[in-house]
């Protein structure tokens, strides 16, 4: 008789509020009216506003990979939004198509900043986003982009570049980098010219920017990308150790950045 009574009592207790990851595509547009479609992720078990993070994808654009990172950020208690840089109707499917797209935006940094800015503004429209606590992360091509977001003068607390193409491009007139910068680099990345990295660090130092540049020994380009090996691109190799360590470095950076 004791066991049935115990089960009855337990059944009367309130059930815990289990976390539920909410994800959805979001249609929006840039200043020129270009149709874009991003991806939003947050945990509905977290109440109220929370730190908000823009995710800039690598050269493949809106694929499952940046969405997975947004989900991981949501599981940490943030609200994350994957930016659509190329446009809703543009979904490249091959290496030549990836190259064609990034040439457009690397050659026109103002356009790249406009598309990233549109994603930032769309994220702030979400009721879960705390406008006072925002950041951006990006991978490869997106790692270049988050620095452009900082150069654009957006009120980000910080940006994290994962194996991004870093250089000393100037900020737009009247603007300067105010965000803290965490650059996570592969020590053996053949796609990151050493002279550009030196120039990038000098620019940050001369600008009084709070920055960290971390170099992961033996890691090559795209070290966080589990799918990159299948592309067989020389110098681009997944590295599980560098992937794990760089994600932890981002987590530590955000804990400091978003502390109240």
Phi, psi dihedrals of residue 217, rounded to the nearest 5°: -55, 130
User: In this structure, how many other beta carbons lie within 10 angstroms of the beta carbon of residue 215?
Assistant: 15
Residues facing 136 on adjacent strands: 54, 159
Residue written as token pair 């994603």: 119
Q: Which residues, 6+ apart, have CB-to-CB distance to 74 below 8 Å?
A: 21, 22, 23, 41, 42, 43, 80
Residues facing 213 on adjacent strands: 183
- HSE-CB at 203 with a 13 A cutoff on CA atoms is 19
Tens-level pLDDT at each residue, the chain (260 residues): 444 444 444 444 443 445 689 999 999 999 999 999 999 999 999 889 999 999 999 999 999 999 999 999 999 999 999 999 999 999 999 999 999 999 999 999 999 999 999 999 999 999 999 999 999 999 999 999 999 999 999 999 999 999 999 999 999 998 999 999 999 999 999 999 999 999 999 999 999 999 999 999 999 999 999 999 999 999 999 999 999 999 999 999 999 999 96
């Amino acid at each position: 008789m004791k066991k049935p009574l115990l089960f009855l009592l337990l059944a009367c207790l309130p059930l815990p509020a289990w976390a539920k990851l909410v994800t959805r595509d979001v249609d929006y547009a840039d200043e020129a009216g270009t149709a874009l479609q991003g991806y939003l992720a947050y945990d509905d078990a977290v109440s109220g506003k929370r730190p908000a993070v823009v995710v800039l994808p690598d050269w493949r654009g809106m694929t499952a990979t940046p969405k997975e990172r947004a989900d991981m950020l949501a599981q940490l208690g943030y609200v994350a939004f994957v930016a659509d840089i190329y446009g809703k109707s543009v979904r490249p499917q091959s290496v030549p198509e990836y190259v064609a797209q990034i040439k457009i935006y690397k050659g026109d940094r103002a356009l790249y900043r406009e598309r990233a800015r549109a994603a930032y503004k769309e994220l702030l429209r979400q009721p879960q986003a705390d406008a006072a606590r925002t950041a951006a992360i990006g991978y490869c091509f997106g790692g270049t982009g988050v620095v452009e977001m900082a150069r654009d003068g957006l009120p980000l607390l910080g940006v994290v570049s994962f194996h991004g193409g870093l250089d000393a491009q100037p900020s737009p007139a009247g603007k300067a980098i105010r965000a803290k910068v965490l650059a996570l680099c592969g020590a053996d990345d053949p796609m990151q010219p050493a002279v550009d990295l030196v120039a990038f660090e000098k620019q940050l130092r001369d600008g009084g920017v709070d920055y960290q540049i971390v170099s992961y020994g033996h890691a090559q380009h795209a070290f966080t990308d589990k799918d990159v090996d299948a592309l067989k691109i020389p110098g681009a190799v997944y590295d599980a150790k560098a992937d794990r360590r760089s994600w932890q470095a981002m987590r530590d950076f955000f804990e400091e950045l978003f502390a109240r």
